[in-house]
């Protein structure tokens, strides 16, 4: 009977230590809140991209880098 109580005690202590360790790891590893950015479509190739990766020319939104635009030759 004493062995069973000893094993249960060791199990509970081990569970409590591991639970606390993993909770602290989860709190530290949380990323900062992501910034939400508007998505726009390129008027030439139609690819959706964040507004920061596009450029506006004459009221039209296009890919910032013409070499990566899908309509480029």
Taking alpha carbons only, the member of 32, 39, 67 closest to residue 54 is 39
Confidence of residue 7 (pLDDT cuts 50, 70, 90): very high
C-alpha to C-alpha distances, 12 to 21, 29, 32, nearest whole angstrom: 14, 26, 34
Taking alpha carbons only, the member of 25, 55, 23, 29 closest to residue 40 is 55
pLDDT tens per residue across span 14-71: 999 888 887 776 665 566 667 788 999 988 888 898 998 888 888 888 888 877 777 6
pLDDT for 59: 86
pLDDT for 10: 96
Taking alpha carbons only, the member of 38, 41, 43, 40 closest to residue 60 is 43
Evaluate if pTM is beyond 0.75.
no
């Amino acid at each position: 009977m004493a062995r069973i109580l000893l094993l249960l005690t060791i199990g509970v202590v081990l569970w409590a230590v591991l639970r606390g360790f993993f909770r602290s790891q989860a709190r530290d590893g949380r990323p900062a809140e992501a910034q939400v950015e508007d998505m726009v479509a390129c008027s030439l190739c139609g690819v959706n991209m964040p507004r920061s990766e596009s450029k506006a020319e004459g009221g039209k939104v296009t890919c910032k880098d013409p070499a990566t635009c899908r309509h480029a030759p």
